[in-house]
Amino acid sequence: MKRFSSIVGTALVLLVMIANVLPVSAAASSSGLTITPRKNLNINPGQTVNDKLTIGNLNNSADLNITMNVIDFTFLDNSGSPKLLLAKDAPQTAWSLKPYINLPQSIVIPAGQSRTVPYSITIPAGQGAGSYYSAIQYGTGSSEGGNVSLSASGVSLVFVSVPGVVKESMTLKKFGAYAVDKDGISGKYVFIATHKVNQLGYTLQNDGNVAEAPVGSITVKYMFGGKKWNIENANASSSLALRGQPRLFTACLESSEKTTELGGTVTKAKVCKQPSLWPGRYTANLDVFYGQNGNNTHEVNANSSFWYLPLWFVASVLALLTLIGIIVTLIIRRIRRAVRGPSYGTNRR
Amino acid sequence: MLMHKYHRLQLALLPHRVFWGEIALSLFFSLIIFIPSTSAVDVVRFQNRSLTVGSSLPGVTTTYTVGMQFTTPTNTGSLDMNFCIDPIPYMPCVPPAGLDVSNAVLSSQTGETGWSLEILSANHLRLTRAPTVASNVPSTYVFSNIVNPTFMAHSYAIRMTSFASTDGSGTQIDVGAVTTQITEAIMLETQVPPVLLFCLGQAVSDNCASTSGGNYSDMGFLSDEDTLSAQSQMAVGTNATAGFVITVNGSPPAAGNHVFGVQTTPTLSQKGTTQFGMNLVANTAPAVGIDPDGASGNAVVALDYSQPNHYMFHDGDIVATAPNVSLVSRFTVSYIMNSDPNLHAGVYTTTITYICSGRF
């Protein structure tokens, strides 16, 4: 009996020791998610809209713990990248939806599954017409440990349009050929292009209280006639100019359709392709409209031009002009000799 | 004689012997010497055009109130109203799907009045009257019994044109368009909702189905003789036409009140200096990181974070972006830490948050 007790006691002690030595591994948490990147809603004053957010957990083996909160954002530059106002003491923007959104603070999504999260937006009666927008941030949390802890967040941009009489003002700042950088977003306007131009751009300054998405078209013509480009949709992505933003809109001179399969869904999108351009001058006409329901429709119309002068063409022209100059010089000298006699040109100083 | 006059002209205008060079350059620059014309032109159309739709629900029967002011004071006998997706008058008119004005009724008219309604097709109305000089008074025309389009992916317009004749023939006088859009959507089964996909870890699979290594990097013990390095990965993709952007957010590593210095411009790794930075490409000094991979052809690393062996960190910076629809891309982030011999002792830690959002 004593021996049995001793064995059991020893086993218990060993068990406790082992339990204290072995690390207690916390359940792994997913940080892979799918979200809806943008929401557009039309809400009358005094109305509440109930909507849903669909969040997916991409990790097939770990649950996804999400915290949700509303943050304000504005524009970062003249592109469509948002500038999230993450500071805890960031002042509320004039277009903030923070006071009006009601959503859960957290949710757990099982491994490999998705959930719809209900939320609501209530616009108070008497609220002024215009555009209001904020972002819903989905935080996946970070692990403790190490020098650098990592945390992943997704963001849905929520835009609400409150109908009524609004202030709309979009001023054209620039229009012309646009050469994009490698990132496909930044770039610059060009007047003389040495590489083929495949996009036209126009910058509109939005001084109204509405986020605007202009619609319209651009026509491009070559100096010697022939092919004409009709860009039927000058804002194919329905890009928005936020309140106060000088927004750059670009349109492909020629586009092709690209099919993308992502997450089990197939999407078709327009991508720019290289147009066939002859060297020379091109003129472009911009005609776009903007305006909210019940308000005046505004039209922005402008003309511009650009040159496509590839280096091979410039070199060829210079060589040709040089050749013409030499030929003309030689002809003139021969004429002078013929007029003044063989001695002309030998004793001139 | 002729040559003598030519020679005098040549001396007067071009005193140099070698003149063909100047001519060649002059010809070249004459082709391009003009001020690039970018002008915002106020088009003279119908003024103060507006459109109020009674309901923005797709497929419902509602009223359309068109407001405008005639610009040209001349005899006007007809006003054409063509419902098209594109507001530009010279573009082909494609009616928005589902729209039907064939049962429209002119409920009221103010300002320039005396009109009667003629229905020409499911997307074409015409107001006619005995030709009368049109004044510049604000005018409104209310049409009831119009069926809204079911087409929601794009705005649509009413193209308006006035004529002296009563049947819409002849030279147009004033033109203009008003636009609107169906905004309260009923999700159609044929529509693919936009989705943004994002994951993060020490290592992630290219479809985000799995991550490994946890969400932290332990870089080891700081030394003025060694460069500490680590890496993490993130994958992102979207079918939204505006693309995505990833920003890096956080503070430099700190031990209490002692904050690590960071490079806010791309800088080479330098042992013996206090330095914390990152990039998203493969490096050799130190040997850490991998170039972006994945099926996407348009997702790119931001310029400041795409230079091999150059590292920086700035709170809020964009580190990766795609301008439109993008298949999944995987980015490997490389971190480096250097310290100088006088660095205050302590455990330096930080939390870096990568925020992925769609663009607008």
The pLDDT tens digits for A164-173 are: 999 999 999 9
- Res B10: pLDDT: 59
Domain ranges of chain A: 33-162, 170-309, 317-349
List the single best residue of A148, A239, A248 to mutate versus B (max B Cβ within 10 A).
A148
CA A238 – CA A212 distance, rounded (Å):
9
Position B48 pLDDT exceeds 60: yes
DSSP H/E element including A10:
helix A2-21
Query: Residue B2 phi/psi, 5° resolution?
Result: -65, -40
Judge whether A109 and A29 are in contact, CB under 8 Å: no
SS3 readout for chain B: CHHHHHHHHHHHHCCCCCCHHHHHHHHHHHHHCCCCCCEEECCCCCEEEEEEECCCCCCCEEEEEEEEECCCCCEEEEEEEEEECCCCCCCCCCCCCCCECCCCEEEEEECCCCCEEEEEECCEEEEEEEEEECCCCCEEEEEEEEECCCCCCCCEEEEEEEECCCCCCCCEEEEEEEEECCCCCCCCCCCCCCCEEEEEECEECCCCCCEECCCEECCCCCCCCCCEEEEEEEEEEECCCCCEEEEEECCCCEECCEECCCCCCCEECCCCCCEEEEECCCCCCCCCCCCCEECCCCCEECHHHCCCCEEECCCCCEEEEECCCEEEEEEEEEEEEECCCCCCCCCCEEEEEEEEEECC
Q: Are B217 and B230 in contact (CB under 8 A)?
A: yes
The answer to whether residues B134 and B76 touch, using CB atoms and an 8 Å cutoff, is yes
pLDDT in tens, B323-360: 988 989 999 999 999 988 887 878 888 889 999 999 99
For B122-148, write each residue's pLDDT tens digit. 999 999 999 999 999 999 999 999 999
Residue B231 has pLDDT above 50, yes or no: yes
Q: Where are the domains of chain B?
A: 47-180, 196-358
Contact: A59, B351; criterion CB under 8 Å: no
ω into residue B286 within 30 of 0, thus cis? yes
Binning pLDDT at 50, 70 and 90, where does residue B261 land?
confident
Any idea of the CA torsion for A166, A167, A168, A170, to the nearest 10 degrees? Answer: -160
Q: Which of A142-151, A274-283, B10-19 has the highest mean pLDDT?
A: A274-283
Chain A nearest CA to B94, separation (Å)? 11
- Token couple for A136: 């819903």
Identify all chain A residues contacting B359, using CB atoms and an 8 Å cutoff: 79-82
Percent of chain A with pLDDT over 90: 64
Q: Quick one: pLDDT at residue A139? A: 92
Answer whether CATH 1.20.810.10 is correct for domain A33-162.
no
The nearest CA of chain A is from the CA of B322 a distance in Å of 7
- Among A104-113, B72-81, B177-186, B333-342, name the one with the lowest average pLDDT: B177-186
Assign domain B47-180 to a CATH class. Answer: mainly beta
Strand, helix or coil for residue A218 = strand
* Closest alpha carbon within chain B to A32: B199
Report whether pLDDT(A39) > 80: yes
Q: Which token pair is A316?
A: 């060829």
Residue B237, token pair as written in the block: 């993709």
pLDDT tens, residue by residue, B22-31: 555 566 555 5
Mutate to test the interface with A, among B236, B246, B360 (most CBs of A within 10 A): B360
Rounded CA-CA distance B129/B165 in Å is 9
Q: Which of A26, A35, A80, A24 is nearest to A57 (CA)?
A: A35
User: What is the structure's pLDDT at B215?
Assistant: 63
- The C-alpha atoms of residue B339 and residue B319 are separated, in whole angstroms, by 25
Q: pLDDT at residue A190 above 80? A: yes
Residue A269: the pLDDT is 75
Question: What whole-number distance in Å separates Cα of residue B47 and Cα of residue B71?
Answer: 6
> To the nearest whole number, what is the mean pLDDT of chain B?
85
- Closest chain A residue to B350, measured at CA: A148
DSSP bridge partners of B336: B229, B277
Determine the pLDDT at residue A7: 56
The CA radius of gyration of chain B, in Å to the nearest whole number, is 34
With contacts defined as CB-CB under 8 Å, which chain B residues touch A68?
none
Q: How far is A283 from chain B (nearest CA, A)?
A: 9
Reported as a pLDDT band with limits 50, 70 and 90, residue A9 is low
Judged by CB atoms closer than 8 Å, whether chains meet at B87 and A31 is answered as no
**pLDDT tens digits for A222-273?**
999 877 898 988 998 889 999 999 999 999 999 888 777 776 667 777 788 8
Least confident piece of the model among A284-288, B232-236, B324-328: B324-328
**CA of A268: how far to CAs of A217, A256, B251, in Å?**
21, 10, 40
Can you tell me the mean pLDDT for A11-24? 41
Q: Is the pLDDT of residue B256 over 90?
A: no
- For residue B147, which phi and psi values (nearest 5 degrees)? -90, 125
Which chain A residues are closer than 8 Å to B243 by Cβ? 80, 184-185
Q: Mind listing the pLDDT tens digit for each residue in A66-85? A: 999 999 999 999 999 999 99
CB-based contact B38 A174, cutoff 8 Å: yes
CA of B249: which chain A residue's CA is closest? Answer: A86
* Tokens, residue B192: 């693919």
Q: With CB atoms and an 8 Å threshold, state whether B179 touches A297.
A: yes
pLDDT one-digit tens code per residue, A329-339: 999 999 988 88
The mean per-residue pLDDT over the stretch B36-56 comes to: 71
Q: Which residues of B touch A135 (CB under 8 A)?
A: 357
CB A156 within 8 A of CB A39: yes
Helix pair angle (B2-13, A311-340), 10° resolution: 140
DSSP state at residue A318: H
Of B272, B292, B177, nearest to B225 (Cα)?
Answer: B272
**Record: contact B192-A154, CB cut-off 8 A:** no
Q: Which of A135, A263, A269 sits opposite B357 (nearest CB)?
A: A135
Interface contact flag, A150 B324, Cβ < 8 Å:
no
Beta strands B105-110 and B139-147 are antiparallel
Q: How far apart are CA B85 and CA A290, in angstroms?
A: 14
B222 CB burial (10 A radius; 0-12, 13-18, 19+): buried
Instruction: Name the one residue in this structure whose structure tokens are 């914390």.
Output: B276
Q: Are B288 and B229 in contact (CB under 8 A)?
A: yes
**Residue B319 vs residue A141, higher pLDDT:** B319
User: What pLDDT score does B182 carry?
Assistant: 78
pLDDT digits (tens, 9 = 90+) for B172-185: 999 999 988 876 54
Torsions phi, psi of A315, nearest 5? Answer: -65, -40
Do B358 and A155 lie within an 8 Å CB cutoff?
A: yes
Contacts of A34 (CB under 8 A, 6+ apart): A54, A55, A56, A58, A114, A263, B195, B196, B197, B198
In this structure, CATH architecture of domain A170-309: Sandwich (2.60)
Distance from CA of A36 to the nearest CA of B (A): 5
Which pLDDT value is given to residue B223?
A: 75
